[in-house]
Structure 1
Amino acid sequence: MTDDLDNRSTPAPTAVPPVLDHRLANIEDLRRLAERATPRPFFGYLDSGSFEELTLRANRRDLDALTLRQRVLAGVGMRELSTTLLGQTSSLPVAIAPTGLAGLIRADGELHLARAAEAAGVPFTLSTVSICSIEDVRAATRQPFWFQLYVMRDRGVVRSLIERAWAAQCSALMVTVDLAVQAPRLRDERNGMTLRPQLLNLPNVIDFIRKPGWIVRRLRSPRRNFGNLERYVPGGPGKKPVPLVSAWIADQLDPTMSWADLDWIRSQWPGKLIVKGLLDADDARRAVQAGADAIVVSNHGGRQLDGALSSIRALPRVAQAVAGEAEVLFDGGVRSGADVLKALASGARGALLGRAPLYGLAALGEPGVAHALALIRREYDVSLALAGVRRTVDVGPEVLDVA
């Protein structure tokens, strides 16, 4: 008698996605290479948090503390990793987070990030304080990207940025709300990497000389200033010194921003609206009332209120507070595909990748970003399978082991 199992048609297993260089086996390997390749002030800017970096460390510690349930015999030969984020199909439940000064970390950095994200089929978010402009990124990509907005004292500048993002066909506007004042980042201060930069001290100059590849790439790039903001700085048309633009940005941070301003932004922006920088359930509900289509649970990567709750600890209650009313994205310490799975199991629809692709960018440019995304994809795929889940859309709280 033939067992029924012998007659069953079994689909071929899903192949584990390859990575580009097995000597760079995880994001930490990219981080170490990035530190060697990048001048100290810019690597410190990428890597640091505010004050004593308590929240920066908590983001990682609390993600590590979550455990996943291992499930077996679940028939996971065919897996579907994709999802939709703000109505846009994404090959993974991730997007590249907005990160300022990527074009200083690596020349033309925002273009490298955007192209690698597009090739990987995931959303990219351009920061207000980028080196490459909205128009630069639009010219270098085919697919719509997201634009992150800081609210300046000069609301005319804000209106202009919104109009430029819409003209560039950005598919979502991400408003960052947790930077009413900027918290000191002590590593940046020691390196002279502040909003009024003082970079040309002897230790920094020596460190720059030891990074000739970085210097050559910077000299070859025409993009050396804040591409989105230089035009708004008083002084007439034409190029302006970077310190002058940086000082203007410092003066534009607006501690008077209120919910009324978010209501106004909603009235100005006709597309999808994301509110980033929420840890509190009441604030999340208020953001939804203001018309947010999505919220990002985030503590600014540990770069603002030191001692604040880690993003992953805040996520479940915030997600519950807005369940069914807005998409919930997660930001804070993601370094692996397993971290992405933990975020989804805790209530997020997707995770923002901040430092992880930037380490790849700093280390190897666009191929490094592609490698970082390939690492995340492989780890997420394997973690999903070993947790006994076949599709991203099926991930739920039962994936976590809470015993």
Structure 2
Amino acid sequence: MKNIESKILSVKDAKYFAKKRVPKGIFQMFEAGSGSNVTAETNVQAFEQVRFRPRNAVFHKSHDISTTILGHKVSMPAIVSSVGFLGVGHVDGETGVARAAGEAETIQFVSGVTSQPIEQIMEAATGPVYYQLYYVGGRDASAPIIERVKKAGVDGLVLTVDTPTIARPKDTLYPYRAEAPLGVNLKEAFKFIPQVWNKPGWLWDYIKTGLKEPQVAMGLREDGTPMGLFEGIAKIYEETPAWEDLPWIRKHWEGPIVLKGILTVEDAKRAVSEGVDAIVISNHGGNVLDGSVSTLPVLPEIVAAVGDDIEVLIDSGVRRGTDVLKAVALGAKGVLLGRSYLYPLLAAGEPGVKHILNLFHQQIEEGLAFLGVKSIHELDPSFVDLPDSWER
């Protein structure tokens, strides 16, 4: 019998198997999206609208898709982005992703609301790890977290700057709506039974972990114990990182800083003037402000505005290796993968993440062959056609 990961030939396959394994409310929590879901959908459509202009009658026996991102040599211009509470979806959690990212020779961004402590993640990691700093419980409560991740050996901080408040979930018709349990008790268990009776793999993993409420491993109460999942989520929105916080953060952190959630030339230029090391053009995968612009259409104007003054990364809507090539051709240093590795994790754990990263590697290399270039660094805007509607 084939392992689940061997059946995955695309991110759509992974989503299919994830829905089969994970309870409906848990899957909807991870699938996310907000409001009408128009931003999440147009993120994907934007990549589909871009067309290639290959150089044919060209053959190279080998292709170099490696690059350098934030000073780290990576095997491909695709890195693993931060998604919270991965352990709720699969017991392998963030440590499984760390091992997969290390094997793929790429970077892992770790969420500030991890289900596993950073020390455990760093023990599993063999590649660079960047920690997403949320102000869990306010700015002052974050100073000990910065010291903790510094001691654990993380390579950089990621400030996600597009979440000043909680977002409304994606509109889902009532008959198809499902909720994740709000706690671990008899009342919630009875409500949750219809969702788990036919999900034995997920349920057995959860039973093995002791039927405990998921915790925000890096968010500590005053007594030093980790916060529960819903308690920690609420604490995130008491205060979120802002421009004026950068001097304060630098008092506690001397390493690289990445700003994630940039969508305008104005913010990109300010990031340069503030001296951060990289920006991520991102709308949080369509999970925050419903109706935000898609990320790929604004990439060219932001790259044109900042040039080589700062590293420009991009996320939101990347589903295949050819999407990575389109982003690189338009000037991105690399892309961040979110749902593209999340679904394989939910479906098959660490082996699923390893499999999808290998699949991206293959697709990027094959894409270079079809484009008629030997190195990823040869790509430029002449290799793509953009829709007329993108003209500003």
Question: What letter matches 2:45 in structure 1?
Answer: R
Distance 1:329 1:216, change over 3 A: same
**Aligned counterparts of 2:194 and 2:145: Cα–Cα separation in 1:** 38
Q: Secondary structure at the match of 1:186?
A: coil
Q: Which amino acid aligns with 2:7?
A: R
Q: 1:204 aligns with which of 192, 195, 216?
A: 192
User: 1:166 and 1:229, CA in 2 relative to 1: closer, same or farther beyond 3 A?
Assistant: closer
Residue 382, structure 1, aligned to residue 366, structure 2: yes
Farther off after superposition, 22-31 or 253-262: 253-262
1:192 corresponds in structure 2 to: 179
The aligned runs of 1:200-279 (5 Å cut-off) are 200=188, 204-221=192-209, 225-230=214-219, 232-234=220-222, 236-238=223-225, 242=228, 245-254=229-238, 257-279=241-263
Shift of 1:160: 1.4
Return closer, same or farther for 1:239/1:74 CA change in 2, 3 Å cut-off. Answer: closer
1:174 aligns with 2:174: no
Question: What corresponds to 1:333 in structure 2?
Answer: 317
How many Å apart are 1:170 and its aligned residue? 1.0
Give yes or no for contact 1:328–1:350 (8 Å, CA) kept in 2: yes
Q: Distance in 1 between matches of 2:344 and 2:306?
A: 34
Percent identical: 34
More displaced stretch, 188-197 vs 60-69: 188-197
Query: Deviation at 1:221?
Result: 3.2
The reply to whether residue 130 of structure 1 matches residue 121 of structure 2 is no
The two structures have a TM-score, normalised by structure 1, of 0.87
The 2-side partners of 1:161 and 1:256 are apart by 15
Q: TM-score, normalised by structure 2?
A: 0.90
Misfit runs of 4+, over 6 Å: 194-199
Question: What SS class does the counterpart of residue 325 from structure 1 fall into?
Answer: coil
User: 1:12 aligns to what?
Assistant: none
1-structure distance, mates of 2:240, 2:115:
26
8 Å CA contact retained: 1:274, 1:292: yes
Match of 1:60 in 2: 44
Contact 1:266 1:291 in 2 (8 A): no
Contact 2:18 2:27 in 1 (8 A): yes
Distance in structure 2 (CA, Å) of the matches to 1:267 and 1:69:
48
Partner Cα distance (2:277, 2:358) in 1 = 29
Amino acid paired to 1:96: V
Q: Would you say the 8 A contact 2:134–2:241 is kept in 1?
A: no
Shift of 1:372: 0.8
Aligned-pair CA distance for 1:183: 1.0
Q: Distance in 1 between matches of 2:248 and 2:208?
A: 41
Distance in 1 separating the partners of 2:198 and 2:288: 31
Letter in 1 for 2:200: P
CA distance in structure 2 between the aligned counterparts of 1:203 and 1:196, rounded to whole angstroms: 11
Distance 1:282 1:237 in 2: 40
Query: What is the CA-CA distance between 1:49 and the residue it aligns to?
Result: 0.4
Task: Select the residue among 39, 51, 57 that pairs with 2:35.
Answer: 51
Equivalent pair of 1:51/1:185 in contact (CA under 8 Å) = yes
Q: Distance in 2 between matches of 1:218 and 1:257?
A: 33
Match of 1:361 in 2: 345
RMSD: 2.6
Distance in structure 2 (CA, Å) of the matches to 1:321 and 1:228: 39
Alignment CA distance shift 1:395-1:203 (3 Å): farther
Deviation at 1:308, TM superposition (A): 0.6
Whole-angstrom CA distance in 2 between matches of 1:266 and 1:81: 34
Larger Rg: 1
1:308 paired residue among 292, 306, 319: 292
SS at match of 2:374: coil
State the AA in 1 paired with 2:178. N
Structure 2 counterpart of 1:111: 95
Name the count of aligned residue pairs: 380
Q: Distance in 1 between matches of 2:119 and 2:248?
A: 24
Unpaired runs of 5+ in structure 1?
A: 1-18
Q: What is the deviation of 1:399?
A: 1.5
1:64-83 → structure 2 map (5 Å cutoff): 64-83=48-67
Structure 1 residues 267, 322: CA separation in 2 closer, same or farther (over 3 Å shift)? Answer: farther
2: distance between equivalents of 1:298 and 1:83?
A: 21
The partner residue of 2:335 within 351, 367, 374 is 351
Secondary structure of the structure 1 residue equivalent to 2:98: helix
Distance 2:232 2:384 in 1: 46
Distance in 2 (CA, whole Å) between partners of 1:387 and 1:400 is: 10
Aligned to 1:36: 20
**Alpha-carbon distance, 1:357 to partner:** 0.8
Q: Which amino acid aligns with 2:192?
A: N
